[in-house]
Structure 1
Amino acid sequence: MDRRELGWAQLAERMHRDLFACYMNAQTGILDQWYPRTAGRADENFYYWWQAHVLDVLVDAYERTGDPALPDRMRRFCRSLEHYNGGTFTHNYYDDMEWTALALLRAYRATGEPWYEEKVQELWADIQTAWNEHCGGGMAWKKDQLDYKNTPANAPAVILAARLYSLFGRPDDLAWAKRIYEWNKTHLVDPATGFVWDGMNRTGDGTIDKDWKFTYCQGVYIGAGVELYVCTGESLYLEDARRTAAACFKELGEPGTGLLPEEGIDDTGLFKGILIRYLVRLLEIDPACPHVREVLLTNAEKLRSDGLIENPLLCGPSWKEPPTLPVQLSVQLSGLMLLEAAAKLEVSK
């Protein structure tokens, strides 16, 4: 059947299947960086944080299908990632650990397996060491650059702390979430618009990187506001999330269409998928939030009609034109997250 005739869940399932068929490495137990694999090099970086989003899409598929084979697949994948990372999930980059902890926590919520929660708590204890008084507080980006603070190391930590509080009710976790959120809002959110800046003091001179306009910074700050609203019922957090969503669409959306920008490959290839994930979360809590459903479905429709090639089902950095081989894992994950989002909206309409 032509992909344009498939429902969103069917299309997401096909892309999920092709993701693992194309990228899974039987020797490492995790996913390769490129398809075809021969496009890669032996000396390429190990993008640990991408694999956290592989676990996220495994959880997405399990939530969508209830396939009883998926928990074992998730379990084996996580143990392979831990082994490949040196027998631990800890890492030099605080934001990388946060992505992993968030995915592991979702796996715990989906399966109830205690091992996931144990690993999350280990990561959370390490992540808390990111807080220091450089730049007036906030979470450092990585352990060997403690004076550089950015949204990708702060807003996901808020989401993690807030979700831990929602699950286990520890007041310290909520206190962490509020404190990190206030730092992020005070230092890296445009007070005039709600648009989220990437980071500050990267070059050691206190400069804020206002020209780094990334979709995922908007996404994780939206997610942070939503989770704090869920925890506290305080409307200010939800209003912040709504305001940032509107600013994101205005600043980064294509005028007249709402299509999200091409952000390239490597790490940036994952950015749109992260925004999509937290826009869906915003819509779950606030179904009437202006333009969110429209933006999600507009992007999904464009990807389905113009942005894919088939056999296998692959996408590129732009969702409005087909990819050329090779296709990078980060980019493919973003496209799959968009299709999973559309499948969720199909169920909830």
Structure 2
Amino acid sequence: MKSFGRLYTDHQPRFSVAPMMDWTDRHCRAFHRQLSLHALLYTEMVTTGAVIHGDRDHLLGFSSLEHPVAFQLGGSDPTHMAEAAKIVADFGYDEVNINVGCPSDRVQSGRFGACLMEEPDLVAACVAAMKEAVDIPVTVKCRIGVDDQDTEAALDTMAGATFAAGSDALWVHARKAWLQGLSPKENRDIPPLDYDRVLRLKARFQDKFIGVNGGLQSLDDAVLFMETLDGIMLGRAAYHTPQIMGEVDRRVYGGTAADVSPWEAVKAHMHYLEEQLSRGVKLAHMTRHMLGVFHGRPGARSWRRILTVEAIKPGAGLEVVESALAAVSPADAGLEAAE
């Protein structure tokens, strides 16, 4: 298997899809891969306890077509983080990432996520232990600070500690997280974005891989950072309008092939859907990640309606997806089919 991890030494990968709970599962990632060959895809966060003691095939299993794919861990005990990282590496993941950004109460009570912004030395100890345990890249995804922290000092300290411990990359969500008084949903929007803070961090750590996340609504927004930062990470925009990923290989990686259209992506994905259906996976568990792919195109509403209503029915199969495809504007279909 190709060693995707070494790309960090060449300041790659430059584009990734953020880890998102309940969204970026294996079926989501498999569909996103149909749109981009090169984007780095992240799993949902999984705790060290679940990785070590849970159903590993269920929690860590993935399709080989997903590469390059990174696994995000939640935890703060260096020994457990190293043990879990070893399990992740043995499963074939291309990277293991430490969550230092999630603000939920459950995460805080477990002493991981955004609250670790206040414990940079502990995060660094986790990085060091994981680097000792695995050969794949170990990275960190963090906030610019939490609560009343000075974001200049907090982010510089986190970056300095984790890079000194051997972290291969730092992905920064360019918002503070408020651990008291705001819900996780509010933490995605209310704290103001501060991209300039991430740019100042890069100016200080010029030889380190630093990527930005948070509030990027389109690929147009994201590529503005390509000349300054090493990585751009989209979350909700990539999930709700996945067709933008069809442009990633050309616009971000300099590919010469034509952009992947929604039609091409769905048709290419049929083989995966058929294979998973044969294993007993429910169609709706897979098609829920495909609802937005025709966003803004004639027939998009019918596409969503058919998948939403029909895919949940017992025995639903590929005919549902084919019916939904037929509902997209024939003119649009002909254009896409000709590309």
TM-score, structure 1 length as denominator? Answer: 0.33
Indicate the structure with greater helix content.
1
TM-score if structure 2 supplies the norm length? 0.34
More strand by share: 2
Name which one, 1 or 2, has greater alpha-carbon Rg. 2
